[in-house]
Structure 1
Amino acid sequence: MKKIYDITIIGAGPVGLYTAFFAHIRNAKVKIIESLEEVGGQPKHLYGEKMIFDIPAYPSINGNNLTQKLLDQVNLFEKDLSLGEEVLDLSPNEDGIYIIKTNKDSYYSKTVIIAAGNGAFQPRKLEIDNANHFENHSLHYIVKKPENFKHQRVAVCGGGDSAVDWALTLEPIAEEVYLIHRRENFRALESSVSKLHASTVKVLTPYKILELAGKEHQIESLKLQQVKSKELEELELDQLIVNYGFSNSLGHIKDWGLKLSRNQIEVSSLMETNLPGVFAVGDIADYPGKVKIIAAGFGEALLAVNQALHFIDPNYRPSPLHSSTIFEGEFND
């Protein structure tokens, strides 16, 4: 007979991992399914070395270390984790138990919490004729090792948090850092923009890239155009980082009968979707007043787990939780 889980979590990014940890604290039988071969989601796979500034108690922490800390929490319990499995279908049987079909197996669960982040993601590329000639050499969409930019002249393109954060991260490493944005104002957090203007990063706004020039796979210069005046400028550099965001796809999730809005799942204030016993947390969840940061997703995880257990047993009332005594005696610090 197949094992029936209390809660199955789809997605093992930061919010999915924390959801699993809290569900274990509530003594639920938990299953985690992740389509990638490693946990950690976008912070691990796309921003492993990028500093993150919105995690409580950490002034800054990079994606790799955040993932490891969250995994350490989950590892306090015996976890049931399937990696490299994409969920293809989600549907209840006649008893109301959800059958979760993946590309490798089928699982049974009383409730489901979707923590799939932004779904499948691909970087939005620089639309210049010869850009693909320099990709993965001197044109980068993902930065894995900041030390590779040591003593280099680097230009970062974009106006969001990622672009501003990478410019600031590389400032003490690279020889020169330029930040190019096609608009005058940035979309990044106000505090990050203030740090940017106080830094040595050379800000070029509003400019757009017209041409890339170089030999073999090495960029040597950019031709820029001032958006308003149309004046042209040439910028000599060694490396180009493009942070234009990512195009996301919900994949099979859009076929599960969930109420969607702009590639997100609509949920109630208790993280409930329109499907009974199915909840959504993190970036994939949408509700009025949504704040799309990891810390907000952690709070959503607590609500979803408690509501999932209440769905299983309407008489369930969560006992007062004193986290300082959960593992009393196991740690000395």
Structure 2
Amino acid sequence: MKDVYDVTIIGGGPAGLFAAFYAGLREMKVKVIEAHSELGGKVRVYPEKMIWDVGGMPPVSGLSFIEQMIEQGLTFNPTVELDQTITKMNKLDTDIFELETDKDKKHYSRTVIMAVGGGVIDPIKLDIDNAFSYEKSNLYYHVQSIKDFKDKRVLISGGSSSAVDWANEIAPIAQQVLLVYRGDNLKTHESDISKLKANNVVSLENTEITALLGDKEIEEVSLRNNKTNSIKNLPVDAVLVNHGYHRQHQLMTESGLSIELKDDYFIKGNVLGESNIQGLYGAGDILSHEGKLHLIAGAFQDAANAVNSAKRHIEPSAERFAMVSSHNKRFTEKNKEYLYKK
């Protein structure tokens, strides 16, 4: 059997990246497997939103936070596998975990840390025949940069609080913002709806997109009122869709292991990240235990606890915790690099 790792971390979001860092600090051989083509996890859904609640860190945008998490997570050079979704997980007679992916690859590990958050998130896309052809031009499912919409006529489809947030953030720099949604009411706070009016965002209820028109880019959108069945075409420069997300949960229920779950998805564990399966741990939103803190700061503590548990599972005589960074010799040379840069 080749390339058996000390710990394989499934998920490259905040919990997974901090687990990779902390496991490297504990001199473990680490692999990170991420289903998407980039690390960062759910934070990539809101790259320009400000994050205020990470201890000791001033407000930081989602994108900047992702960059910093990745830099820290890769400090000790873990192996990183992107664009791979774990489909099966079993334990071999040798007490080694065998992980199979949708790319027909197998990975082997002495311990596993599940850090998959709420599941693999994929946006629900427009169910229109030619929609895919516009995804590389002016059809968006995420806001990577608000500047993409500067001085443009933007149509946003969706009635959730996220769609309303997008409208309010884009409106100050856009030429015009139109928000359409299929229901009778927006699913957000009254204060956000008042802000839409203050930002001159036009909202159309009971309205949905039926066609995208244009050659290489969307030039017009056909809208249908689902109560009157009337159709009208409007010129646009960009279309932004927020219809929610698909979440892939199969791994937890179809893994091949009898993982004890809460609500058919979340790992029932404890504050040390331990599940009912020896050598399998949880960190971040996927882990459920009494006293759980659903903040990024809580994900960091989960990650460290899971790594410490994994380390002692492999090496029972190991210290319970890693030495703190201010006294840890593993940072001696790295500290010089940072000091000299400054």
Aligned residues: 325
Quote the residue 1:245 is aligned against: 244
Coordinate RMSD, CA, aligned = 3.9
Quote the residue 2:70 is aligned against: 71
Equivalent-residue separation in structure 1 for 2:75 and 2:107 (angstroms)? 23
Contact 1:124 / 1:244 at 8 angstroms: preserved in 2? yes
Q: Tell me if 1:9 matches 2:9.
A: yes
SS of the equivalent of 2:240 reads strand
Contact 1:50 / 1:166 at 8 angstroms: preserved in 2? no
Quote the residue 1:277 is aligned against: 279
* 1:296-315 paired onto structure 2 within 5 Å: 296-314=298-316
Cα deviation, 1:40-72, whole Å, max 9, x if unaligned, reads 33444x55x543525622423133x33321221
CA spacing shift, 1:310–1:262, aligned 2, 3 Å:
same
Contact 1:212 / 1:222 at 8 angstroms: preserved in 2? yes
Contact 2:19 / 2:73 at 8 angstroms: preserved in 1? no
CA spacing shift, 1:298–1:161, aligned 2, 3 Å:
farther
Deviation at residue 154 of structure 1 after TM alignment? 1.4
Contact 2:141 / 2:241 at 8 angstroms: preserved in 1? yes
* 1:157-172 paired onto structure 2 within 5 Å: 157-160=157-160, 162-172=162-172
Equivalent-residue separation in structure 2 for 1:315 and 1:195 (angstroms)? 60
Cα deviation, 1:172-206, whole Å, max 9, x if unaligned, reads 33112244453645458x9x949946961526375
* 1:87-126 paired onto structure 2 within 5 Å: 87-102=86-101, 103=103, 105-126=105-126
Quote the residue 1:39 is aligned against: 39
SS of the equivalent of 1:218 reads coil
* 1:22-61 paired onto structure 2 within 5 Å: 22-44=22-44, 49-53=47-51, 56=54, 57-61=57-61
Q: Tell me if 1:18 matches 2:18.
A: yes
**Structure 1 stretches of 5 or more lacking a match?**
none
Residue 156 of structure 1 aligns with an amino acid whose one-letter code is I
CA spacing shift, 1:101–1:132, aligned 2, 3 Å:
closer
SS of the equivalent of 1:166 reads helix
Q: Tell me if 1:220 matches 2:220.
A: yes
Equivalent-residue separation in structure 1 for 2:62 and 2:264 (angstroms)? 27
TM (normalized to structure 1)? 0.76
Equivalent-residue separation in structure 2 for 1:324 and 1:85 (angstroms)? 36
Deviation at residue 112 of structure 1 after TM alignment? 0.5
Contact 2:156 / 2:163 at 8 angstroms: preserved in 1? yes
* 1:230-241 paired onto structure 2 within 5 Å: 236=234, 238=236, 239-241=238-240
Contact 1:178 / 1:201 at 8 angstroms: preserved in 2? no
Contact 1:183 / 1:205 at 8 angstroms: preserved in 2? no
SS of the equivalent of 1:272 reads coil
Aligned-residue identity in percent: 28
Quote the residue 2:269 is aligned against: 268
Residue 239 of structure 2 aligns with an amino acid whose one-letter code is L
Cα deviation, 1:298-333, whole Å, max 9, x if unaligned, reads 232122222223433455543475334443542325
CA spacing shift, 1:213–1:22, aligned 2, 3 Å:
closer
Q: Tell me if 1:147 matches 2:180.
A: no
CA spacing shift, 1:236–1:290, aligned 2, 3 Å:
farther
Deviation at residue 33 of structure 1 after TM alignment? 2.3
